[in-house]
Every structure is written in structure tokens, then in C-alpha cells.
Amino acid sequence: MGQYLYKIQWLLENKTNAKKLISTLGSKSFDVITTRNYDLKVIDRTTLFLQYSYNLCDVKTKQWIDKQSKNPDVKYFEFIRR
């Protein structure tokens, strides 16, 4: 019997949609959040939000999204669940 490895990925274009996804699914649903530029190259990646409790986790993740969106190179937010 084989073992399957899967990855679910969301690629969102702006911070409003990224924050709505966090509000809907919660940031504990993801393993990694990555910011990417226009060429889809990685700018920054974080898993630090996982260390917080459920209530604080979403707040800290939204703060991180706000901070990253101030960078003019950031075009996409990528959410990954493995």
C-alpha cells in the first residue's frame, strides 16, 4: 500500500483576500505562509504564527500580512497546508 503526500495551496493577490481567508479558515489551518513577487519568487516565508494560541494566532497573522503588504515587491500571498 502506497503513502500519499499532498499539498493544498492558495495563492491570493491582495491583503484583503488574504485576511478574509484567515478570518474564514483560521491561520492554524496552514503550515506555511509565503509572500511572492510578480515573478512568483519567494520574498518571505513564515511559520511563526503557529506558536500562538488560536485567538492570538489569527491576530498575529493578520499583523504579519499588513507588515508584508507594505513592501512594494509583494504581489501574492501563498497559503500552504501539507
Chain segment 28-69, per-residue pLDDT in tens:
888 899 999 999 999 999 988 888 888 899 999 999 999 999
Global pTM reads 0.83
For 71-81, how does the pLDDT look when each residue is reduced to its tens digit (9 = 90+)? 999 999 999 98
Domains held by the chain: number: 1
Is 56 within the bounds of a domain?
Answer: yes
Contact call for residues 7 and 79 (beta carbons, < 8 A): no
Range of the domain at 18: 8-81
DSSP string, 4-16: ----EEEEESSHH
Is 3 within the bounds of a domain?
Answer: no
Q: How many residues does the chain have?
A: 82
